[in-house]
Each structure stands twice: as structure tokens, then as C-alpha cells.
């Protein structure tokens, strides 16, 4: 039995080697490097935001690259408001001429240039061309609008079903009601407290479903990577930071600027407070920073791994390597569905925890 198994493995290894050798003869080293470069550029393009909504692209028999999608409005401020369609860029292949000015789409950013599309560089090969202020409706912004509209319709319908059926949801509301109750009873109440949790519930519900829906959209063939954009996660973390510090009680700020209270004499405070207070202040900024980095890094890494595994199918071009890459990509996709929910939960849980720190109130005499 063991001998037969060894023979089977040997035959499979020989077939794989013969197939790889045939592929090596068919394809030159230069073309392999070109394929690797193309896959790398495709992954980088997928991770970036774009000024048009491309669903997919293909190359015709004549070698022409075709894009399937629709353009988005470009809104620039350059000595006045400039509004035009992103179709003028033709996916970065042509220049856009508006009111006598020329603009070029270069690495997903818009630069002002001349009629020849010249891009000047500094010593570190960074573009030095002037950049107009960009207020464009990009692909990520479109998905944010869609997610916001979806949430509005969802919870509006849920509220109507509650009002019509005496607090009993119907339809899709039956699926979302346990999630809403979980956020209230297992996240908000334990971390913020019975007295003040209601004031934070609208934000906690919004941030959970917003992050969750965007993460799920990122796994669809639409090719969006909104929560893998550090600008988006920065904005979300900034909201948590503002809610935490603008609603902070007197006790919250006393814990930062007088962390030891009356438990230490004044001469002890003179020694310790120059060390403790900067650490406490640093923690105020580290908390939201950890929120934005955690969400950004996890979603970005998931997309990179998934796209890399798909790219390996085109590199292997073998009857073992390609199915193996596809199987791994499928498994990672299932894991990413769980990660999408998990990251929304973690962001909401930590936000509630920070709100609990800000809402703390106690009798100082009893506490000490």
C-alpha cells in the first residue's frame, strides 16, 4: 500500500515537472516578469480609489484595452471651480482640458500640466506639478453614499414595522433586530453604563452597520476597498475621538490631569505628574489611532492576500498550482466575510469602551 502511494506521488511530481518544463519553453523569462509586474500593478490599482467606476476590463483581439463601467464627476478648485466628467481622462490615458488648463490623472491623483502632459519630478522622483484641490466624487464616495442610503432605507423600514406591529419587526427586520439588541445589551450597556448608554446608541449602531456593510461591499466583484483607505478609517476614528472628548465628564478629565487624586501629597505629585500627565494625554490620541490602524491594516491585508492568490493562478498555469490557488482564494474569501463582521464589532466595542471612560462619574470620597 505504501509502495503504491509512493508511486502515485512520483508520477504526480513527474507530470508537474514536465508541465512546468513545457511552460518554461513556451514562455520567456521576460514575459514572466511582465506578467508579475502586471499582476502587481493590478493589485495596487484595486487598493487605490479611482475617479471612475470600472466594473471590469478586457483586451480585444486588436490589443485595445476596454473598460466596462461609468465615469464620475470631477470637481476641482483651481482659481475657480472646475467641474467635468472623468471620461476626459480615459482612465489616465489622455489629458483633460478645461477652460484652457490641462490636467493629468497620474497614480490616482490629478496634477496640473501642459498640453504635452509633462510631469516634473524632484530628486526622490516625486511629482512637483501643482495639484488643484480635489473635491471629486470618487468610487469610494459613491459606495459611501450607497451604504448611507441602504442604511437609511433599512432602519426606516425597521422603525415603521415596529410602529405598525406593536414593537414586533417584520421582513428583513427580523434578521437585524437581534444585532441591534446585541449592540445595546452586550456592547453599550456594559461598557457605558445604564445611565448614559442611550445617548451613544445612535452613533454605535451607525458605525457598526456602516463599517460592516462597507467591508462586505469590498468583497463583491464591484472592486471597492473603502475601509482599506486610511483616509476613511481616519475620519471614522476622528468621530470616535470627538465624541469621546467632547462628551467627557469632569471626572474623565480629572483622571487625565489629576490621575492620583488625593492619594498622593503635593510633593509626590511634583515628582510623578510630569511623567504621568503626558502619558495620559498621549493615551487620548493613541486610542483613536489604534482604531484607524486596526481597521485599515486588516482590510488592506485581506485584499492584498486575496488578490495575490488569484494572481498566482496566472503565474502557475498548471493543473495543480492553479486549482490550489483558487481553493486558497475561496477559503480566504470565506474568512474575509467573518473578518468583515469582526472588524465592525471591534470598532464598535472599542468606541463604546472609550465612551464609557468619558461618561464615568463617581463620588470621589467613596472612590478614594
Structure confidence by residue, pLDDT tens digits, 238-272 = 999 999 999 988 888 888 888 777 777 777 777 78
pLDDT at residue 228 is higher than 60 = yes
Averaged pLDDT, 198-207: 94
Q: Work out the average pLDDT over 177-192.
A: 93
Cα separation values, 36 from 4, 32, 41, 147, 312, Å? 38, 6, 9, 34, 9
Task: Provide the 3-class DSSP secondary structure of residue 156.
Answer: helix
What is the pLDDT, as a whole number, of residue 30?
53
Question: Percent of the chain at pLDDT above 90?
Answer: 35
- Residue 162: exposure state from Cβ atoms within 10 A (0-12, 13-18, ≥19): middle
pLDDT > 70: percent of the chain: 88
pLDDT score, position 24: 44
Instruction: Note the pLDDT tens digit of each residue in 63-115.
Output: 677 777 788 999 999 888 999 998 888 877 888 888 888 999 888 889 999 88
Place of cell 454605535: 204
Asked if 174 and 338 count as a contact pair (C-beta separation under 8 A), the reply is no
Distance between CA atoms of residues 181 and 124, nearest Å? 53
Look up residue 17 and give its three cell numbers. Answer: 515537472
Most confident of 174-178, 240-244, 297-301: 240-244
Please state the rounded mean pLDDT for residues 336-364.
89
* DSSP result, 86-115: GGGTTTTTS-EEETTEEEEEETTEEEEE-T
Average pLDDT, the chain: 82
Q: Which long-range contacts (CB under 8 A, 24 or more apart) does 196-201 make?
A: 196/359, 199/247, 200/243, 200/352, 200/355, 200/359
Rg (the chain; Cα; Å): 27
pLDDT, mean of residues 290-302: 91
In three state form, how does the secondary structure of 36-79 look?
HHHHHHHHHHHHCCCCEEEEEEEECCCCCEEEEEEECEEEEECC
- Angstrom distances, CA of residue 129 to CA of 83, 314, 320: 20, 37, 48
Sign of the four-CA dihedral 275, 281, 283, 286? negative
Q: How far apart are CA 289 and CA 297, in angstroms?
A: 12
Check residue 268 and give left, alpha or beta (phi > 0: left; psi -120 to 50: alpha). alpha
Interval 199-204 mean pLDDT:
94
The secondary element (H helix, E strand) that includes residue 358 is helix 321-358
pLDDT of residue 201: 94
The DSSP secondary structure of 263-319, one letter per residue, reads GS-HHHHHHHHHHHHHHHHHHHHHHHHHHHHHHHHHHHHHHHHHHHHHHHHHHH-ST
Q: How far apart are CA 351 and CA 188, in angstroms?
A: 9
Q: What is the pLDDT of residue 38?
A: 74
> What mean pLDDT comes out for the span 318-327?
80
Ranges of each domain in the chain: 55-136, 139-367
Amino acid at each position: 500500500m505504501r509502495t503504491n502511494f509512493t508511486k502515485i506521488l512520483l508520477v504526480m511530481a513527474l507530470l508537474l515537472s514536465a508541465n512546468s518544463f513545457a511552460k518554461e519553453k513556451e514562455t520567456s523569462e521576460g514575459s514572466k516578469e511582465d506578467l508579475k509586474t502586471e499582476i502587481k500593478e493590478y493589485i495596487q490599482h484595486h487598493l487605490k480609489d479611482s475617479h471612475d467606476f470600472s466594473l471590469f476590463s478586457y483586451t480585444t483581439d486588436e490589443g485595445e484595452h476596454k473598460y466596462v463601467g461609468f465615469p464620475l464627476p470631477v470637481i476641482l478648485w483651481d482659481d475657480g471651480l472646475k467641474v467635468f466628467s472623468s471620461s476626459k481622462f480615459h482612465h489616465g490615458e489622455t489629458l483633460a482640458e478645461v477652460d484652457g488648463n490641462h490636467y493629468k490623472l497620474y497614480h490616482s491623483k490629478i496634477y496640473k500640466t501642459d498640453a504635452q502632459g509633462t510631469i516634473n519630478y524632484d530628486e526622490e522622483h516625486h511629482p512637483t506639478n501643482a495639484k488643484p484641490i480635489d473635491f471629486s466624487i470618487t468610487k469610494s464616495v459613491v459606495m459611501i453614499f450607497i451604504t448611507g442610503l441602504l442604511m437609511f432605507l433599512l432602519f426606516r423600514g425597521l422603525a415603521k414595522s415596529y410602529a405598525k406591529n406593536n414593537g414586533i419587526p417584520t421582513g428583513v427586520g427580523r434578521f437585524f433586530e437581534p444585532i441591534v439588541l446585541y449592540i445595546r445589551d452586550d456592547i453599550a450597556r456594559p461598557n457605558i453604563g445604564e445611565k448614559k448608554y442611550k445617548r451613544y446608541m445612535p452613533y454605535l449602531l451607525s458605525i457598526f452597520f456602516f463599517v460592516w456593510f462597507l467591508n462586505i461591499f469590498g468583497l463583491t466583484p464591484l472592486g471597492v476597498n473603502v475601509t482599506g483607505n486610511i483616509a476613511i478609517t481616519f475620519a471614522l476614528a476622528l468621530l470616535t475621538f470627538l465624541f469621546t472628548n467632547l462628551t467627557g465628564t469632569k471626572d474623565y478629565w480629572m483622571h487625565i490631569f489629576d490621575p492620583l487624586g488625593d492619594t498622593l501629597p503635593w510633593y509626590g505629585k511634583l515628582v510623578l505628574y510630569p511623567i504621568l500627565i503626558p502619558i495620559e494625554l498621549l493615551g487620548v490620541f493613541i486610542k483613536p489611532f489604534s482604531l484607524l490602524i486596526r481597521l485599515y491594516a486588516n482590510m488592506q491585508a485581506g485584499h492584498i492576500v486575496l488578490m495575490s492568490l488569484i494572481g498566482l493562478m496566472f503565474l502557475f498555469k498548471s493543473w495543480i498550482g492553479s486549482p490550489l490557488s483558487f481553493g486558497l482564494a475561496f477559503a480566504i474569501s470565506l474568512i474575509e466575510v467573518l473578518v468583515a463582521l469582526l472588524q465592525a464589532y471591534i470598532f464598535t466595542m472599542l468606541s463604546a469602551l472609550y465612551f464609557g471612560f468619558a461618561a464615568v462619574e463617581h463620588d470621589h470620597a467613596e472612590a478614594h
